[in-house]
């Protein structure tokens, strides 16, 4: 599932994810989590709302960095942790206590 999420969010470097080539996906669970944690800065509410609209819509709601995502979550645009876990999107959770 994490590999599908990586492809859907476009978290792979541009050189490895060509239009007609098969991208080099992380081989382990740990590598996949690290890649998503370092590149996928998206609010889970936004992700669930726009995922049906395609990758371009997801790119529009993604944040440029972790700090801006944390600011948005702290302002109140959040989702219950248990709902996120039930959806299997634990890897997109961000710690706002730093």
Domain that holds residue 35: 2-17+26-92
pTM, two decimal places: 0.82
Reported as a single tens digit per residue, the pLDDT across 39-50 is 999 999 999 999
pLDDT tier for residue 97 given thresholds of 50, 70 and 90: confident
Would you say residue 67 lies in a domain?
yes
* Interacting residues of 30 by C-beta distance below 8 A, sequence separation 6+: none
Would you say residue 97 lies in a domain?
no
Reported as a single tens digit per residue, the pLDDT across 1-60 is 999 999 999 888 655 555 666 668 898 999 999 999 999 999 999 999 999 999 999 999
- Does pLDDT of 74 surpass 70? yes
Q: What angle separates helix 2-9 from helix 29-39, to the nearest 10 degrees?
A: 30
User: What pLDDT, on a 0 to 100 scale, did the predictor assign at position 47?
Assistant: 95
Would you say residue 98 lies in a domain?
no
Would you say residue 43 lies in a domain?
yes
Would you say residue 77 lies in a domain?
yes
Tally of structural domains, the chain = 1
Q: Taking phi first (over 0 means left), then psi (-120 to 50 degrees means alpha), and beta for anything else, what does residue 25 get?
A: beta
Would you say residue 49 lies in a domain?
yes
> What burial class does residue 37 get, using C-beta atoms within 10 Å of its C-beta: 0-12 exposed, 13-18 middle, 19+ buried?
middle
């Amino acid at each position: 599932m994490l590999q599908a999420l990586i492809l859907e969010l476009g978290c792979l470097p541009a050189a490895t994810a060509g239009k007609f080539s098969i991208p080099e996906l992380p081989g382990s669970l740990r590598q996949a989590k690290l890649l998503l944690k370092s590149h996928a800065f998206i609010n889970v509410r936004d992700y669930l709302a726009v995922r049906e609209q395609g990758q371009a819509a997801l790119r529009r709601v993604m944040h440029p960095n972790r700090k801006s995502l944390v600011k948005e979550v702290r302002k109140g645009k959040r989702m219950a942790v248990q709902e996120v876990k039930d959806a299997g999107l634990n890897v997109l959770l961000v710690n706002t206590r730093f």
